[in-house]
Chain A
Amino acid sequence: MRYSCQLVLLLLLLASCSKEKVTSTVTAMDVPDTTAQLKYSGKFANGQYGTTSGTVKIYVKANVYTLVLDSFMVNSGPDLHVYLSKEVQPLNFIDLGVLRSNSGVQVYTINGMPDFKDFKYALIHCQQFNHLFGSAIFQ
């Protein structure tokens, strides 16, 4: 009985621990809409906690903005998100979602019509630990 209780306690502890999400290493091959108009672009620079390279581009078509990561690469990390941010260390930001892959071409739809004079950074950011992996400023 004693060992049964210990086993149940252990199982409960394990059940409550969720595995940390680590970004997929399978290269993404999204296909951007070539008829959309390129509005802004920027090159990624390394953040304090990551090595990031590639280009970010903002396209617009029929008042819908999309963000494209092109020739993109970042080292693996937990809970990496794609942000549009007013600051290079994000305080005010728009979360475009979890980074789907740590390399390749990726397309993210932007809800609404943010002012890119304010949201002038694209960031790869570890949300869970508030760590910056990479940033690009729109030109």
Chain B
Amino acid sequence: MKYFVLIIFFQASFEVVFSQKAATKSTSQLLDLAVTAGSSRGAVAAAYVYNWQKGKRQQWDLGLGVRLTTAFGTKQEYTTAPANISRGSSIPFIVVVSEQKTANWDTLVVQRPLTASLNATANIGYHFNSKWSTGFNIDLIGFTVGRKSPAVLISNGVTRTEPAAKRAPFNILLTGDLDYGSLNSEFFIKYNWNEHWGIRAVYQFVFTEYKTNTIKQTAPDGTMVDRFRNKANNLGIGLSYHF
């Protein structure tokens, strides 16, 4: 069984790498740069995307890629991250619709957050015609580097200083507040003005996480919490180059 899975994996990898020239009509590759902004924050994301085009008219894109997202801001609010404390359920998928336990949330105001996250992405898209298309992409797994920053932890009206909060180093998509680390997702509408170049209007939902070092939140069950999450809704534009 183990060898069978390995053979399938290598065969799939072989197909991805060597099918590019043989089947150019059913696949596409692109580079993209997106710039987005929100309230006292912004993000710049550079991505490589490999799409398989599906459907009778090859109107669907299904793809994988890799994306570097740099998120920055001033005085951004990060709230208690672990799902077993912040939400009513920590079961995958159910966590998304479970109750928000806001009474358990503390706020970490990170004064000068700056993170750079490199993640694998999944992409889906639909072409209305040769010019217009829409799509969605989401980060899956990766890692983050970033700047340490002073922060203020506000817990039941008590304020404490964290001299050097630092980014959560690893990222993984586990659905809803079970997610860990810094993950970017985008919904977009794209206009291709020629064979190679396209421009996107982007709605971005990006998670970033910071961890405290010297102080921690004490949750009602006694758990010591050091991981806090910011969820940002940003708007912006992207520029795509199709190979």
Contact = CB atoms under 8 A, between A and B. Distances in A.
Given A12-B237, A127-B150, A129-B150, A93 B160 contact: yes
Contacts of B74: 18, 20, 128
A15 B111 contact: no
B112 A128 contact: yes
B231 interface: no
Contact of B37 (A5, A12, A79, A95): A12
Interface in A50-109: 79, 90-95
Contact of A91 (B35, B161, B199): B161
A4 to B, nearest CB: 9
A130 interface: yes
B181 interface: no
B9 interface: no
Interface in A1-34: 1, 5, 8-9, 12-13, 15-18, 20
B42 interface: yes
Contacts of A92: 158-160
Given A16-B42, A127-B152, A128-B150, A9 B35 contact: yes
Interface in B47-99: 72-75
Contact of A90 (B75, B158, B161): B161
Contact of B42 (A8, A13, A79, A93): A13
Interface string A124-138: 000111100000000
A16 B160 contact: no
Indicate the member of B41, B72, B73, B150 with the most A CB atoms within 10 Å: B150
Contact of B163 (A8, A9, A79, A130): A130
Contacts of A8: 237
A94 B159 contact: yes
A130 B110 CA distance: 11
Interface size of B as a range: 20 to 34
A5 B150 contact: no
B239 interface: yes
Interface in B192-243: 193, 199, 214-215, 236-237, 239
Contacts of A16: 37-38, 40-42, 72-73
A23 to B, nearest CB: 16
B107 interface: no
B89 to A, nearest CB: 34
B185 interface: no
A12 B42 contact: yes
Contacts of A5: 199, 237, 239
Contacts of B160: 91-93
**8 smallest A-B Cβ distances: which pairs?**
A16-B42, A130-B150, A16-B37, A128-B111, A12-B35, A18-B40, A9-B35, A15-B37
7 contacts: A8-B237, A13-B42, A15-B37, A17-B42, A93-B159, A128-B112, A129-B150
Given A5-B237, A93-B160, A130-B111, 7 more contacts: A9-B237, A13-B42, A16-B42, A127-B152, A128-B150, A130-B150, A130-B163
